[in-house]
Structure formats: structure tokens, C-alpha cells
């Protein structure tokens, strides 16, 4: 296992171990961090995938995904964001490779409403400051299943958020993954 030169130290400053390189990266429409990170377009005509794929020679271990949905006032459980209704097709979270889907984290039931994030992730909070936009924050801790999601760049493995609805009414819609680079 290749580790980088970052080290952990205890309070006295002595060496106590090596540390992997931390990953904190938004899913985007290119997959390498260089594309659009805001998934608030109109994807109703054709499916759009935002994803993260490690480059060849690297392996990412993903511990969690933070999803943020920013919109105007009026978030309700049965809507998506403050849009007037639920999504028709919904959002699927999955891991895939060139041969197809590896894991469907939504288990065949795409996220169509604000409340449905709670069915998948449990950790869901609505932030409202009384004026202006509201913010729905979702924390999906993959390690609560007992392990990290492992993505091998040599096998073209990736984590994906799949959209097929008009999300252009949202102010912002982002998915950030967190974890570490194994090699």
C-alpha cells in the first residue's frame, strides 16, 4: 500500500503513524473534478450523470456523500427543493464500471422528494434563516454499512448521481464525496 508523506503526530509532536491523502471532491459532469459541479440543469430530455472516477493507478475509499439542495422558501416533504412538486423520475445514487451498475444505493427507488433523502440517509436537515433561500443538507455515511466504498481507477469504477428531471428551478444542487486515496 502506497502512503503519502503526510504524518500524524500526537500532542507531544512525536510520530504516531502515516496518513492517506484526503479526498473531498464534488461529483461533476466530467468525473475528474473539472466539469460542472452544480446539478441544477434541465435533464428531462435525456439522463445526465454526475460522477467521480479515480484516474488509472489510483484507488479512492469513499466514506460519505454530502448532498446540498438550495432553493427559495417553501421546502416541503412531498416536493423536491422548493419546486412545486416531486420529481417524476428521481435521482439514483450508484457505483458503476464500464460493464454497468455495481451497487444501486437507492435500491431501485429513486429519490423524488425531500423526505425520501431521510429514507436513504437518515441524516437530513433543513436550514432556514428566515429570509432568502433555504438549504436542505443530506449526509449519507457509507461507512455506516460497515465499510468504505472502494473505487479502483484501473477498473474504471466510479460513483454516480443520475438525473432525468428538470432541476433548473433549483438555486444549487451539489454532491460532494469525502474519503481518502488508498494509492
pLDDT for 78 beyond 90: yes
pLDDT for 16 beyond 80: no
Task: Name the phi and psi angles at 172, rounded to 5.
Answer: -155, 150
**Best CA proximity match to 177, nearest among 6, 31, 5, 19:** 31
pLDDT of residue 132: 87
Rg (CA), the chain: 18
Q: For residues 96-108, give the mean pLDDT.
A: 95
pLDDT of residue 34: 96
Q: What is the pTM of this model?
A: 0.89
**Best CA proximity match to 106, nearest among 121, 120, 88:** 120
For all residues of the chain together, what is the average pLDDT?
Answer: 91
Residue positions counted in the chain: 183
Task: Name the phi and psi angles at 119, rounded to 5.
Answer: -65, -35
pLDDT of residue 8: 46
Q: For residues 60-69, give the mean pLDDT.
A: 97
Q: How far apart are CA 159 and CA 29, in angstroms?
A: 12
pLDDT for 7 beyond 70: no
pLDDT band per the 50, 70, 90 thresholds, residue 173: very high
pLDDT for 1 beyond 90: no
Q: How far apart are CA 52 and CA 29, in angstroms?
A: 9
CB count within 10 Å of CB 169 equals: 14
Contact 117, 111 (CB under 8 A): yes
Per-residue pLDDT reduced to its tens digit, 118-160:
999 989 999 998 788 999 999 999 999 899 999 999 999 999 9
Locate the DSSP E strands across the chain.
7-9, 15-18, 21-26, 48-52, 59-71, 92-97, 100-104, 123-128, 134-141, 149-152, 158-163, 172-181
What is the percent of the chain with per-residue pLDDT over 70, rounded to a whole number?
91
Amino acid at each position: 500500500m502506497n502512503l503519502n508523506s503526510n504524518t500524524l503526530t500526537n500532542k507531544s509532536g512525536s510520530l504516531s503513524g502515516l496518513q492517506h491523502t484526503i479526498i473531498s471532491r464534488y461529483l461533476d459532469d466530467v468525473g475528474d473534478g473539472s466539469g460542472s459541479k452544480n446539478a441544477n440543469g434541465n435533464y428531462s430530455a435525456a439522463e445526465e450523470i454526475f460522477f467521480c472516477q479515480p484516474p488509472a493507478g489510483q484507488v479512492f475509499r469513499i466514506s460519505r456523500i454530502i448532498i446540498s439542495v438550495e432553493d427559495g422558501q417553501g421546502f416541503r416533504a412531498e416536493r423536491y427543493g422548493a419546486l412545486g412538486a416531486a420529481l417524476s423520475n428521481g435521482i439514483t445514487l450508484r457505483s458503476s464500471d464500464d460493464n454497468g451498475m455495481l451497487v444501486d444505493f437507492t435500491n431501485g427507488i429513486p429519490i423524488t422528494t425531500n423526505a425520501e433523502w431521510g429514507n436513504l440517509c437518515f441524516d437530513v436537515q433543513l436550514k432556514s434563516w428566515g429570509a432568502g433561500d433555504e438549504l436542505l443538507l443530506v449526509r449519507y455515511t457509507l461507512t455506516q454499512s460497515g465499510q468504505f466504498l472502494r473505487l479502483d481507477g484501473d477498473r474504471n469504477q466510479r460513483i454516480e448521481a443520475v438525473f432525468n428531471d428538470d432541476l433548473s428551478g433549483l438555486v444549487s444542487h451539489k454532491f460532494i464525496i469525502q474519503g481518502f486515496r488508498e494509492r
